[in-house]
Amino acid sequence: MRFLRQSLTGLLLLALTLAGLGLAGLVIGAAVRASLAPAGPGQPPVERVVPANVVTLMPLSLTPETTAFGKIEARRTLDLRSRQSGTVVWVSDGFRNGLAVTQGDLLVRLDPAPATDALALAEADLSEAHGEATDAVAALELTKADLTAAMEQAVLREQALVRQQDLAARGVGSPLAVETTELAVSTAAQAVLSREQALATAKARVDQTAVAVTRAEIALVEAKRNLAETELRAGLSGRVDGVTLVEGALVGANESLGRIVDPAALDVAVRLSTAQFARLVGPDGLLAAGAVTVSAPGSGTPLPGQLDRIGAAVEAGQTGRLVYVALDASPSLATLVQPGDFVTVTIQEAPVADAALLPATALGPNGALLVVGPEDRLAEVLVEVLRRQGDDVIVAVGALAGREVVTERSAVLGAGIRVRPIRPDLATGGDPASSLTATEDTAELTAERKAALMALIAANPALSEAEKADLLQVLQAETAASGDATPPLDG
């Protein structure tokens, strides 16, 4: 029984093997017969239609924007320096880094003892100078009175001389009396000269004492100023920075004690290329009055400003031009940006007419656009690039007004390639069925071509009955889609 069962199993496996070999032979034979059979009607190669995003060029008046990077700078910064040396005896609690101070606030006080002593000495010197001046004036008055008396005495001596000379002429007087009188007249004249000299000396002393009083007054004013300078006050309102001062410190003259920065008066130093700078300068050589927007990193609030001035010179190792943007004062300005921050600056240029904004991917390396022509075939047209800003370009429209151009070039797109245009209005919405009847996406079919296409669909064994029914339904319309939805039936 066991032998019989094994024999039957072997015969069954042999039968299955022979059946498989026979089936393989039939398949191979059918393939050989199909390859040796006469060829049927050949089909011409089908042209490939590539989908492409297109947009219609419309001439507009665009406002280009120049984007650059700048650094925030404080327009008003005051260095706090000590005018004289001394010991710090008091420091204000508000004189710390980051705190706000108001103009006129007392910040630091130096030891006033040396200045107070100098002021007392100056006051004493002024009192002494006033006393000497008073004495000089009194001496001048006495000298004037002495001169008057001497002059009167000289007149009397001259009158006595005239009488003696008259008596001598009549023979009454003696020559000795005349000589004595003449000697007295000479002595009186000499006394007058001496008094005049004393008067000149007294006047000179008055002038000298007046100069001494003036000097003493100047010294007193300087002493008062030195005393006032022992107190350091805020010269403007702002925030304090760079303070390392404590009580008891010894500071020298002109030593920096800190600085005050006005956070409401800020500028942006922006370095532009020569080409960018040339577009911002008007015919009069002045900066254009275009709007300026400053964006701080991490801040969603743009800061308005305006072009203010041009740098006076190009620094060593730098190129282009340095321009300054004045930020408009606002309550939130100090909280958004601070001196030293790097920001992005967007400057609006003069409007450009007859221009269009396109993605940079629409422009080829040779500066040409792919324009959709008849039968949706592409052609390369050179255009003038007016501006490049970010990922977009601004081109001159000119004769291309109303023409469709490819917005995204690829390796399969080029001159002469037939495309299936994808337009923004159709890509973002709309009825797909209605798009088949659109003029841009359909092609007119003649009766003869429609009949030929229907015959080819009916005779195509590769299509199922459902696919044939759908295609025949589409062909019943007056127009048929010209894109990839149409099966490759013919050329």
Which CATH code of 1.10.287.620, 3.30.1700.10, 1.20.120.140, 1.20.59.20 fits the domain covering 113-228?
A: 1.10.287.620
Phi, psi at 385, each rounded to 5°: -85, 115
Distance between CA atoms of residues 317 and 209, nearest Å: 63
Model confidence, pTM: 0.58
CATH for 65-111+233-349? 2.40.50.100
**DSSP symbols for 87-137:** EEEEE-TT-STT-EE-TT-EEEEE--HHHHHHHHHHHHHHHHHHHHHHHHH
**pLDDT for res 42:** 47
CATH number (2.40.420.20, 3.90.650.10, 3.40.50.1100, 2.10.260.10) of 46-64+352-429 reads 2.40.420.20
CATH 2.40.420.20 domain position(s) in the chain = 46-64+352-429
Minimal CA–CA distance to 227: which of 78, 123, 91?
Answer: 123
**What counts of helices (H) and strands (E) characterise the chain?**
9, 25
Helices 113-170 and 175-228, interaxial angle, to 10°?
170
Q: How far apart are CA 341 and CA 394, in angstroms?
A: 31
The strand ranges marked E within 234-289 are: 238-241, 250-251, 256-261, 266-272
Amino acid in position 433: A
End-to-end CA distance of the chain: 72
pLDDT in the model for residue 444: 53
Cα–Cα distance, 376 to 443 (Å, whole number):
11
From first to last of the 491 residues of the chain, give the pLDDT tens digit.
677 777 878 888 888 888 888 888 888 888 877 766 655 444 456 677 889 999 998 888 998 888 899 999 998 999 999 888 999 999 999 899 989 999 999 999 999 999 999 999 999 999 999 999 999 999 999 988 888 988 888 888 888 878 777 777 777 767 777 788 888 888 888 888 988 899 899 999 999 999 999 999 999 999 999 999 999 999 899 999 989 888 989 999 899 899 999 988 899 999 998 888 888 887 777 887 778 989 887 777 888 889 888 888 888 888 888 999 999 887 777 778 888 889 999 998 888 899 999 999 999 888 899 999 888 889 999 999 988 888 899 999 988 888 899 999 888 888 888 888 988 754 444 443 333 333 334 445 567 667 777 777 777 665 667 767 777 776 675 444 443 334 443 33
Q: What CA–CA distance (Å, rounded) separates 118 from 178? A: 67
**For residues 123 and 213, is the Cβ–Cβ distance under 8 A?**
no
- Confidence (pLDDT) at 477: 57
